[in-house]
């Protein structure tokens, strides 16, 4: 559900005079002038390659898109760079240390969680690790597998932005 269906009262004055202005992407209260902009949240994703250039895909343990393939990553925290968020998320989810991080592409995404749609900008990096000795599924990861780009069944990927990222990777490499 888009946030425009969830805001009923102005956070500034508490009146029911707040309205969403779709063309500009913000809420405006007619009573007090409070404005609230809908902006994209920053998220990161890693295309982690092994020595055979196989991509490390994860399997999502939780909604949205539970039990589907994904790239490891997650949301950037406040006051955190995308690169630091990526390193933190990979450590939390897979217990891996990234040895190289190179920006690849970005894609907008709609991320629906608990009935509310969040708008994200998924920044994707091509990464390497020195070794996979500590690799294990943790946090919100159910499992993982290494696949060549051409082996990936796009229908097994749950998030639209990740499908677009992998399609771009397939056409680039």
- CB contact at 8 A, 126 and 47: yes
Closest CA to 89 of 29, 48, 145: 48
- Tell me if the domain spanning 41-172 has CATH number 3.90.79.10: yes
Numbered ranges of CATH 3.90.79.10 in the chain: 41-172
- For residue 111, the cross-strand partners are 118
Is the pTM higher than 0.75? yes
Q: Please list the pLDDT of the chain residue by residue as tens digits (173 residues).
A: 788 888 899 999 999 999 999 888 899 999 999 999 989 999 999 999 999 999 999 999 999 999 999 999 999 999 999 999 999 999 999 999 999 999 999 999 998 888 888 899 999 999 999 999 999 999 999 999 999 999 999 999 999 999 999 999 999 98
């Amino acid at each position: 559900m888009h946030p425009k269906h969830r805001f009923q009262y102005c956070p500034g004055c508490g009146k029911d005079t707040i309205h969403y202005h779709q063309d500009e992407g913000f809420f405006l209260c007619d009573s007090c002038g409070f404005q609230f902009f809908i902006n994209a949240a920053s998220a990161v994703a890693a295309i982690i390659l092994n020595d055979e250039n196989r991509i490390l895909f994860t399997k999502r343990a939780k909604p949205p898109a539970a039990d589907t393939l994904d790239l490891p990553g997650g949301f950037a925290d406040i006051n955190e760079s995308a690169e630091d968020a990526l390193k933190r998320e990979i450590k939390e989810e897979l217990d891996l240390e990234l040895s190289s991080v190179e920006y690849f592409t970005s894609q907008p995404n709609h991320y629906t969680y608990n009935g509310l749609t969040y708008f994200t900008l998924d920044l994707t990096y091509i990464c390497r690790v020195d070794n996979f000795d500590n690799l294990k599924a943790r946090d919100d990861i159910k499992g993982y597998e290494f696949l060549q780009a051409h082996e990936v069944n796009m229908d097994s990927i749950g998030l639209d932005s990740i499908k677009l990222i992998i399609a771009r990777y397939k056409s680039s490499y």
